[in-house]
Amino acid sequence: MYRNSLFDNPLAVFLLFLLVGFTNIILSVHFISVLLAGITFVAFIRCVEKKYNYSLILVIFIFFIIESSQGLKLLSLSLLSLFIYIFIIPKVQTLLSSITLYMFSIVFIFYLGVIFLYMSFSEVNIVFLTKILFNYIFDIFVIGILI
């Protein structure tokens, strides 16, 4: 369903690792919460579908950085991504034919799962929901450029 993507290149996945590490470790100290989890989720899907195992390990490390900087349990985002990949993506693929709309809806479902994870591990308030909405819009903008 995909064309050639930037995530086919292992160097791009490594640069994504550095970018997400920087934004989540350095910027979270200053309370600027830019997760880039949606972009990492798209890279996860791409690595699983194309069987890029080494890049997949790096993507899981990216999820570790996001989880540790945001206070989530380890492997929660990886398991959420795997759950969405196995159970939800086949249903969404049959419903949507546009690649762009498909990617936007999958990232939206992923962020709904992230909200559910935060609800089960901590308290959710309006500030958190605005941060998640900002992250979703930012990820959609970046994914729109990458597609």
pLDDT of residue 44: 96
Q: What is the mean pLDDT of each run of 10 residues along the chain (147 residues)?
A: 74 91 79 82 94 94 91 93 97 91 94 93 87 92 82
> How far from 86 is each of 6, 42, 103, CA to CA, in Å?
23, 14, 15
Q: How many CB atoms lie within 10 A of CB 146?
A: 14
Structure-block tokens of residue 72: 């989530």
Residue 3: the pLDDT is: 64
* Contact call for residues 110 and 80 (beta carbons, < 8 A): yes
> What is this structure's pTM?
0.92
Task: Reduce the DSSP state of residue 57 to 3 states and report it.
Answer: helix
Neighbours of 83 (CB within 10 A): 12
CA gap 37, 39 in Å, rounded = 5
